[in-house]
Structure 1
Amino acid sequence: MNGRHLRVHKRLVQSFKDANSGLLLALAQERNIKLQLSAAVLVLCFSWSIHVSLTYLVVIFVLIGGVISLELINTAIERLVDLVTKENHPMAKAAKDTAAAAVWWFSVMAAVIFIVIVFATLFH
């Protein structure tokens, strides 16, 4: 192995460590992500109990991943805005509210899709 390959590998490993650190920090500090993960466990248990198809299960995992990913982005935006300003600036509020709206909107769409999956599974 050449030295360049080792540096790339170290950077890749470090980027995974940094990502894991960010996830653990969000889990430790953010109430919403804990609620969303709890809801995800319930959704997965219920899905398993009604025997959703593998295709639907993949859709459910994508929806869960989308909600969690957006919540992590929302958290990052909130922290970045707080780093820039602590005052009640209308633009800071707009940035935070819009990021929160993205999580909310995707969560609503995920819930609607899950309801469709449940009805399709139970009444097909």
Structure 2
Amino acid sequence: MKKKINSLENRRESYKTSSNVLISFKYAFSGISYVLKTSRNFKIQLIFAFTSLFIGFLLQICLSNYVILVATIMSVLILEILNTSIESIVDLVVKKEFSSFAKISKDTSAGAVLLASINSVIIALYIFVPKLNLLFNSI
């Protein structure tokens, strides 16, 4: 019960910017944890991310390609977190009523994640296909 009361007290102060950097990190990790727990798409994207990194390890891609791969993965995950944030704000504002502006907001933020995901597939193909060609041509 005490934990619930503390949580409510923190929410009352949520409009304030934290002056403590460590508390700011705590809030950021709380946001990431929320998305990890509630977003099916974020979990799917993490599975693809770890699979891509593992394939990169198996194919022994160079360090610069790893940097590109990690940056691409991060862009998709960041956009998914922003998408969740936008959808939550829209749901808060419109409650359970339909709004064409809410639909536009949610659809466009989801579209941004889709474009980043398509971009990540293109980059993965660019990195992995030449390595796979070499592998299969040597067999």
Whether TM exceeds 0.5 here: the answer is yes
Percentage of pairs with the same residue: 36
How far apart in 2 are the matches of 1:10 and 1:105? 36
Higher mean Cα deviation, 113-122 or 14-23?
113-122
Correspondence for 2:10? none
1:26 paired to 2:64 = no
Paired letter, 1:103: V
Correspondence for 2:103? 93
Q: 1:46 aligns with which of 47, 55, 62?
A: 55
> Number of matched residues?
116
How far apart in 1 are the matches of 2:123 and 2:60? 16
Q: TM-score, length-normalised on structure 2? A: 0.79
Detail structure 1 runs of 4+ shifted over 6 Å in the superposition: none
State the structure with more CA Rg. 2
1:35 paired to 2:44 = yes
Structure 1 spans left out of the alignment, 5+ residues = 1-8
How far apart in 1 are the matches of 2:19 and 2:106? 34
How far apart in 1 are the matches of 2:130 and 2:20? 45
Deviation at 1:121, TM superposition (A): 3.0
Structure 2 spans left out of the alignment, 5+ residues = 1-17, 135-139
Higher mean Cα deviation, 99-108 or 111-120?
111-120
